[in-house]
Amino acid sequence: MTETAPWTSRKPTALLVLADGTVIEGHGVGATGKVTAEVCFNTALTGYEEILTDPSYLGQIVTFTFPHIGNIGTNEEDIEDLTPAARRGAVGVIFKADITEPSNYRASRHLNDWLSSRGIIGLSGIDTRALTAWIRENGAPNAVIAHDPNGVFDIEALKAEARAWSGLVGLDLAKEATSGQSSQWTETPWVWNEGYGETSPEDAKYHIVCVDYGVKRNILRLFAGLDCKVTVVPAATSAEDIMALNPDGVFLSNGPGDPAATGEYAVPVIREIIKTDTPTFGICLGHQMLGLALGATTEKMHQGHHGGNHPVKDHTTGKVEIVSMNHGFAVSSNSLPAGVEETHVSLFDGSNCGLRLTDKPVFSVQHHPEASPGPQDSHYLFRRFLNMVREKKGEPALAER
């Protein structure tokens, strides 16, 4: 990809500088400053606020392929990171068109102001389709995104920073995305014209402990909505401390970074939990680390999967669901050991999207069943997990769908 000039005559106030030296000029939005990260693209048409606050995007700059981002504004309800004061999510963003004024009854803030408040650096006015095509051809690049309202940049220094960054391989970002202490989650799923509900942990029938590697709020809401008391614990919590909470089930959350790096402390914990026969369910990073704990390997993907239109087949039912994806690493299908069954595969590239143990109540998926792109194609996975809990208690199963 050659250097790209801005679409308008305005002076460039933001740059995207790739590690190969490519410089892309645009108009700055959001926070000022600079940050080094990996550039990915997301093909979702909606949900930009949820995407930008998903902790799995920590260490990444998100390019939206949909041209008009920001026209519904932002609000205080649709964020996904557990501790918004820490601003764990995407560090940069790239738009094709300028941000328009919000037009939605739920909007409470302009997207540009919201980006600034969260420290997210962005640029607009570039050919995002050309950038996406470049990433598909060459892979997700390391880059520096910089925003200066005066348009003053040391381009050679920015090129050097982009070249020098080692990338996501080997990075344990879960330690930055995780919550700092244990907590109880009580919010239930959103209901039209009513908002989010609230549940009482004391009255809940089941106790789920969530190991937080960068968990999304809607995952916790769905558990709370299924009559579960939800206890969230930090990523480095020991197996002994987790089991001391007497969980009916253990959930391994999504999160950012290289699963092999986080797995250095997480995998031994997961193995100890599996030995107890406690029902265990993993999503995204939790899926990858469960794979590592069971003896499989993970690998960095060429461009990753990011979007809300990915078809995945559930081999256990033969059904295809449209899912939300956000991952740059994957479990290697050919590395699954005996006793571990592949349950889901991507119909885009055949990569692994799910696994389960054949002799224990343990399973995981790569995609995000809580994100509702289908809109609820994958919600059955939460009931599948709860059925494992119910079976252990001698209770009848719920209908999965």
Residues 45 and 138 in one domain: yes
**Mean pLDDT, all residues of the chain:** 94
On whether residue 61 sits in a domain, the answer given is yes
Q: Omega of the bond prior to 375 within 30 degrees of 0, cis?
A: yes
Residues 81 and 229 in one domain: no
pLDDT digits (tens, 9 = 90+) for 39-77: 999 999 999 999 999 999 999 999 999 999 999 999 999
pLDDT digits (tens, 9 = 90+) for 215-253: 999 999 999 999 999 999 999 999 999 999 999 999 999
Q: Which of 27, 344, 367, 368 is catalytic?
A: 368
Domain with 42, as residue range(s), is 14-164
Query: What CATH number does the domain containing 302 carry?
Result: 3.40.50.880
Q: How far is CA 281 from the centre of its chain?
A: 16
On whether residue 119 sits in a domain, the answer given is yes
Backbone φ and ψ for 302, nearest 5 degrees, come out as: -60, -50
Say if residues 33 and 147 touch (Cβ distance below 8 Å).
yes
373 — pLDDT class (breaks 50, 70, 90): confident
pLDDT digits (tens, 9 = 90+) for 81-140: 987 656 789 999 999 999 999 999 999 999 999 999 999 999 999 999 999 999 999 999
Average pLDDT over residues 11-37: 97
pLDDT digits (tens, 9 = 90+) for 261-280: 999 999 999 999 999 999 99
Number of independent structural domains in the chain: 2
Give the pLDDT confidence score for residue 374 in this predicted structure: 73
Say if residues 355 and 291 touch (Cβ distance below 8 Å).
yes
Q: Which of 27, 284, 305, 327 is catalytic?
A: 284
Say if residues 308 and 65 touch (Cβ distance below 8 Å).
no
Q: Which residue has the tokens 């919600």?
A: 379
2 — pLDDT class (breaks 50, 70, 90): very low
- Give the orientation angle of helix 259-275 with respect to helix 285-293, to 10 degrees: 60
Question: How far is 253 from 235, CA to CA, in rounded Å?
Answer: 9
On whether residue 258 sits in a domain, the answer given is yes
pLDDT at 4 over 90: no
325-356 burial code (b ≥16 CB/10 A, e <16): bbbbbbbeeebbeeebebbbbbeeeebbbbbb
Give the pLDDT confidence score for residue 10 in this predicted structure: 74
On whether residue 5 sits in a domain, the answer given is no
Is 40 marked active-site? no
pLDDT at 6 over 80: no
CA atoms within 13 A on the CB side of 397: 11
Is 368 marked active-site? yes
Residues 306 and 181 in one domain: yes
Element (H, E) at 229: strand 228-234
According to the 3-state scheme, what is the secondary structure of 25-81? EEEEEEECEEEEEEEEEECCCCCHHHHHCCHHHCCEEEEECCCCCCCCCECCCCCCE
Give the pLDDT confidence score for residue 83 in this predicted structure: 76
Residues 31 and 180 in one domain: no
- The region of weakest confidence among 55-59, 370-374, 381-385, 396-400 is 370-374
- Model pTM? 0.95
Is 284 marked active-site? yes
pLDDT at 255 over 80: yes
Say if residues 23 and 17 touch (Cβ distance below 8 Å).
yes
Residues 224 and 340 in one domain: yes
What token pair was written down for 239? 């197996």
